[in-house]
Amino acid sequence: MTLLFFLAAGWIFLAGVYGMVTSRNIIRTVGCLAVAQSSTYVLLLAVGFRRGGTSPYFTDTSTRTPVVDPVVQALALTDVVVGATVTALLLALALQLRKRHGTVDPDALTGLRG
């Protein structure tokens, strides 16, 4: 049953990729990339969960409390930032591309081929 928590990550990744494969709009492609990325957060945090643990900082709880893995949280935090910045860059590219090319449909982007 708890296996499903890990499998959810794989499902989300594939859903994002499916959206990118079928996309007819480059802005949607970038959005789907963000979806695919959220799978990594889910996997990382699910991996770091400890049954009965609480979050690993000790201002409002005793230092003996069992806590979940802080390292994956730090990794996920880095990942969130990376994802947001990359999304911003790609959206900037998509915006300019739309302006210059007059289309957001990948089928109509024929500038580079062969």
Q: Which of residues 49-68 bind other proteins (CB under 8 A)?
A: 49-61, 63, 67-68
x/- contact string, 68-97, with other proteins (CB under 8 A)? xxxxxxxxxxxxxxxxxxxxxxxxxxxxxx
The CA distance from 26 to 23, in Å, is: 7
Q: How many chain residues interact with other proteins (CB under 8 A)?
A: 107
111 binds other proteins (CB under 8 A): yes
x/- contact string, 6-45, with other proteins (CB under 8 A)? xxxxxxxxxxxxxxxxxxxxxxxxxxxxxxxxxxxxxxxx
Which amino acid is present at 7? Answer: L
Look at residue 1 and give its three-state secondary structure. Answer: coil
Q: How many CB atoms lie within 10 A of CB 26?
A: 21
Look at residue 92 and give its three-state secondary structure. Answer: helix
114 binds other proteins (CB under 8 A): yes
Smallest separation (angstroms) from other proteins to the CB of 4:
7
Structure tokens given for 22: 């079928």
Smallest separation (angstroms) from other proteins to the CB of 52:
6
